[in-house]
Structure 1
Amino acid sequence: MDWYTYVIEDKNIGKRIDLFLSEELKDVSRSFIQKLIKNKNVKVNQNYVKANYKLKLNDVIDVKIPEPEILEINPEPIELDILYEDKDIIVVNKPQGMVVHPAPGHYSGTLVNALLYHCSDDLSGINGILRPGIVHRIDKDTSGVLMVAKNDLAHQNLTLQLKEHTITRKYNAIVYNNIIKDFGTINAPIGRHPIDRKKMAVTNKNSRQAITHYTVLERFGQFTFIEAQLETGRTHQIRVHMKYIGHPLLGDPVYGPKSQPFNLNGQLLHARVLGFKHPSNNKYMEFEAPLPDYFKNIIEKLRKKSN
C-alpha cells in the first residue's frame, strides 16, 4: 500500500482534485483516481471529498493507493474461429459481442479466456495476466481479424510493425448519410473527449495523430457502405473519424444517433483484412474474415429499400 501527501500552492487553487492528482500521479489514469476518491482513499484536511472538489490554498491531500487485487483469469472452452496458427502466432476471427481481454465487469467469456484454453501456456507474457498474447484490440461490438502472439519475441516484432504503421488493416462499415466523394483521407488527431471521459474525440489537446483512408463501396441513399483502412490505430479511430466528417457508423451506441434502426447490437464495423510480416521468417501474410451474416443481411435490406 502506498501513501502520498500534497499541500496545495497558489498555482493549483481552484483546480479539481481528480485533475490535480492525475497530473501528480502520472502512472495512473484519471478514472482510477476518481475510483480512489469514490472508495474513500483520498482525504482533504482529514475529510472525504468528491472528485469535483475545487482545491484551496494550503489544502492537505492524503492519498492511499491500496495493493492491487490478485486476479486469476481462467481458461474457458469457448469455440474460436481460427484463420491461422503456428508456433509463433494465432490469427482469429472475433465475433461481435466478445470482449478481447478481461476488464472490470468482463472477467469471463473473453477472447483471452478462450485463448488460454486453446493455447495453454503458449501465449506471450508481455502484457501481463490480463492480456496474454494480445498485441492489438478491436472493440467488443466490432467483429473481425485479430493477431495474437504466442511468445515474447513474436509479440515484440508485431508491436514494432504496428508502431511503424506497416500492418495492413482494412475494415468494412456502414455509415449514415451519402458520402459524395468516392474516396478520401481523414487526418485529425484523436484524444479523450474533453467532457465525457469515456469517449474519444477529434481534439488538439492531449491527442495523437490519427489517419484513416476510406473508399465508398456502395451507396444506399441515407447510408453508405465503405472500406476504411487504418494508417494509425487509435482507440475508436474509425468510429470517431467518421462521426467527425458527419457520417457516424450505423448501430454505434456511443458516437451515433440515439435512435437506431434495425435493432442492432452495436456498430456495423468489421475488421475484414489483416496483413503483416511473419515475426520469424519476415514473409508477408494476409488474412481475410468474411462479413458476418447479420452485416450482410443489413446490406441486403438497404439495397432493397434504396431500389
Structure 2
Amino acid sequence: MNPSLHADPAAPGSPPTAPAPECLFADDDLIVLAKPSGLLCVPGRGPGKQDCLSARAAQHWPGACVVHRLDQATSGLVVMALHAGAQRALGNAFAARQVHKRYVAVVDAGSGLPEADPDAPWQEIDLPIAADWERRPLRIVDAALGKPSLTRWRAAPPEGGAPLPADPGSGARVLLEPVTGRTHQLRVHMAAIGHPILGDALYAPAAVQARAPRLLLHAAHLAFAHPRTGAPLQFDSPPPF
C-alpha cells in the first residue's frame, strides 16, 4: 500500500508466456490493473521471485512505473504510471492522502460485529505500527516505537460478493479504509481488535488462517484525480470471494 515516489520503472522479468494483467483503464498517462492474489507487485529477492505485476505490465506498457503496492496475498486494484511525470503526480497524491481507497475483507467475527447498516458511522482503529525486527517482515502494534496508523472500518452487507471459497464459520464481511498506508496495516489492525482476516498466514491464528484458501482481502475501490487533466477517476472491482 505504501506509495513510492522514486520507484524504478517496471523491469522485465516475467516469462514471455506470463498472462497479461487484467486492465480496467489505460491512456497515455496511467493504467489501472487488477492484481490477483498470490502475485507480487514488484520483483522479490532471488530468481524465483521475478515474476510480478510490474514486470508483466512492462511487457505490454513499456515504461510502466510503480506508484503504490499491494501485499502479495491481497488482490485488487493497482494504478501504475506510464511516464515519470505521471508517477510523480500520482505519488504525491498518495502521499497527500488524496487517493480514496476502500477494501473488502472477511474477518473472524469473534464475539460479534456491529450490524451491517449502510447508515452506521465508520469506526476507527488508531494504533501505531512498527516493524517486528525479530520476525521480519511482520509488523506489530507498538505504542512507543510505532508510526501513527489509522484505519476506518465498518460491517458490510454480503450483497455483491461471490460465495466464500471456504466455509466462513463466524466470518463477517467488512469494509476497510486505510487513512495511513503502513505495511500490513489492515491485517495488523484487524487482528489487533480481535477480528483477524480469514486466510491470513501472518497475523491470524492457525484455525482462522485455515478457514480460507487465500487471504480474504481485496482492494475494491480507488478514486483520484487524473495526474494530467485533473479529471476525477473512480474504479471499482468486486471481490472474488
- The TM-score bracket by the shorter chain reads 0.7 to 0.9
Identify the residue that residue 72 of structure 2 maps to in structure 1.
140
Instruction: Report the equivalent of 2:220.
Output: 272
SS at match of 1:101: coil
2:104 to 167, 172, 177: 172
Higher helix share: 1
Q: Report the CA distance between 1:262 and its aligned residue.
A: 6.0
Judging changes above 3 Å, is the alpha-carbon distance between structure 1 residues 261 and 233 closer, same or farther for their aligned structure 2 residues? closer
Superimposed CA distance per residue, residues 159-193 of structure 1 (whole angstroms, 9 cap, x where no aligned partner):
11111111110000011122237541111111112
2:201 to 247, 253, 268: 253
CA distance in 1, matches of 2:114, 2:239: 24
* Alignment size in residue pairs: 212
Q: Is the 8 A contact 2:31 2:79 kept in 1?
A: yes
Runs of 4+ in 1 over 6 A off after TM superposition: none
Distance 2:41 2:209 in 1: 27
Give runs of aligned pairs for residues 55-94 of structure 1, distance below 5 A: 73-75=12-14, 76=16, 77-94=18-35
Partner letter of residue 80 of structure 2? V
For residues 289 and 180 of structure 1, the distance between their equivalents in structure 2, rounded to whole angstroms, comes to 25
Q: How does 1:1-307 map to 2 (within 5 A)?
A: 73-75=12-14, 76=16, 77-105=18-46, 106-120=48-62, 122-123=63-64, 133-177=65-109, 178-180=112-114, 183-193=122-132, 195-218=134-157, 222-260=170-208, 264-292=212-240, 295=241
Aligned partners of 1:191 and 1:201 also within 8 Å: yes
Distance in 2, Cα, partners of 1:103 & 1:282: 34
Secondary structure of the 2:186 match is helix
Q: For residues 272-304 of structure 1, what are the alpha-carbon distances to aligned partners after superposition, in whole Å with 9 as ceiling and x for unaligned? A: 001111100111101011211xx1xxxxxxxxx
| 1:108 positional shift | 3.0
CA distance in 1, matches of 2:50, 2:83: 23
Q: Compute the TM-score of the two structures, normalised by the length of structure 1.
A: 0.64
SS of the equivalent of 2:54 reads helix
Quick one: distance in 2 between partners of 1:201 and 1:221? 27
Q: 1:263 deviation in Å?
A: 5.7
Asked whether the equivalents of residues 141 and 265 of structure 1 are also in contact (C-alpha less than 8 Å), the reply is no
How far 1:213 sits from its partner (Å)? 0.4
1:207 deviates by 2.5
Amino acid aligned to 1:100: C
CA displacement 1:35-92 (0-9 Å, x = unmatched): xxxxxxxxxxxxxxxxxxxxxxxxxxxxxxxxxxxxx743544221100001110000
Distance, in Å, in 2 between the alignment partners of 1:261 and 1:235 is 19
**8 Å contact from structure 1 (residues 240, 255) kept in 2:** yes
Unaligned runs of 5+ in 2: 1-10, 159-167
Q: Percent identity?
A: 30
Find the residue that maps to 1:214 and give its secondary structure.
Answer: strand
Within 2, Cα distance between the matches of 1:224 and 1:103?
33
RMSD between superposed Cα atoms in Å: 2.1
Contact 1:78 1:109 in 2 (8 A): no
Q: More deviation in 209-218 or 219-228? A: 219-228
Q: Aligned partners of 1:87, 1:205: CA distance in 2, in Å? A: 45
